[in-house]
């Protein structure tokens, strides 16, 4: 397995060492997660490009409706957090 040298800020290095965390395994998991995130973002961009080509840009009315729905969802989430 190839090796790689990684630099960490002092505070982060100390935390990893103090907690006895497996730095190599953490880095591998972080790289896998980042690669997956980038792949999903690229797929989402591709899907949106294809969707826009198929159905076109949303109208102002559609944007306004989506904005109103998003606002209501946000208000519900805030109310749910408040108890």
pLDDT for 23: 95
The whole-model pTM stands at 0.68
Rounded mean pLDDT, 13-21: 98
As a whole number, mean pLDDT of residues 24-32 equals 97
pLDDT at 83: 81
* Rg from Cα positions in the chain: 22
Mean pLDDT in residue range 19-37: 98
Half-sphere exposure of 30 (CA within 13 A, CB side): 7
d(CA 10, CA 13): 5
How much is the pLDDT for 11? Answer: 98
């Amino acid at each position: 397995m190839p090796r790689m040298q990684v630099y960490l800020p002092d505070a982060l290095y100390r935390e990893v060492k103090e907690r006895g965390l497996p730095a190599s395994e953490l880095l591998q998991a972080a790289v896998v997660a980042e690669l997956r995130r980038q792949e999903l973002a690229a797929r989402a961009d591709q899907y949106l490009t294809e969707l826009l080509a198929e159905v076109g840009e949303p109208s102002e009315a559609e944007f306004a409706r989506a904005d109103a729905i998003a606002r209501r969802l946000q208000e519900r989430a805030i109310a749910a957090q408040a108890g």
